[in-house]
Amino acid sequence: MTRSSLAALLALSTTFVQPAAASSSVPYHSDGFYMDFSRDCTAVATPKPGRKLQVTLVRIDIGPYYSNQAGIVLYRDAKCLHAVAAHTPQMTGLTVVPFNPALDLPVDGPLMARIWKPSVGLVFVDGYEIAP
């Protein structure tokens, strides 16, 4: 192959390659949200207005007031009607709940949580905010 034919081939191949579109996803990391038994169903992650959240990981840090029957339920709607996960940790400390594939929440939709039985904890949510 000559230099001129190689140059022509490279010029031709670049006409079919389109640059990747800029991603509209932004990493989302919530602050630790304090939960205790006295709270009702509460938003633990909320996207910016007009965006939706894809949750990839929920970290639950259960505190010292732990009951062996304590647990947390995560919901994908503000009325806490549609549970997407329930977890009963075996001890105090950090528990990781992965979502693979990611949990898609509706536009402007929060991720809600409710703790049952006497316990306290912090809830952290990781994922991506995306344009609908």
Q: 130, 24 in Cβ contact below 8 A?
A: yes
pLDDT at 24 over 90: no
- Those residues whose C-beta lies under 8 Å from the C-beta of residue 121, and which sit 6 or more positions away, are 34, 35, 36, 60, 61, 62, 63, 72, 115
Q: Quick: pLDDT tens for 100-132.
A: 999 999 999 999 998 876 677 788 999 999 988
Q: Quick: pLDDT tens for 83-96.
A: 999 887 767 778 88
CATH of domain 24-130: 2.60.120.340
Residue 123 CB: number of other CB atoms within 10 A? Answer: 23
Q: Quick: pLDDT tens for 30-78.
A: 888 888 776 788 899 999 999 999 999 999 887 766 566 677 889 999 9
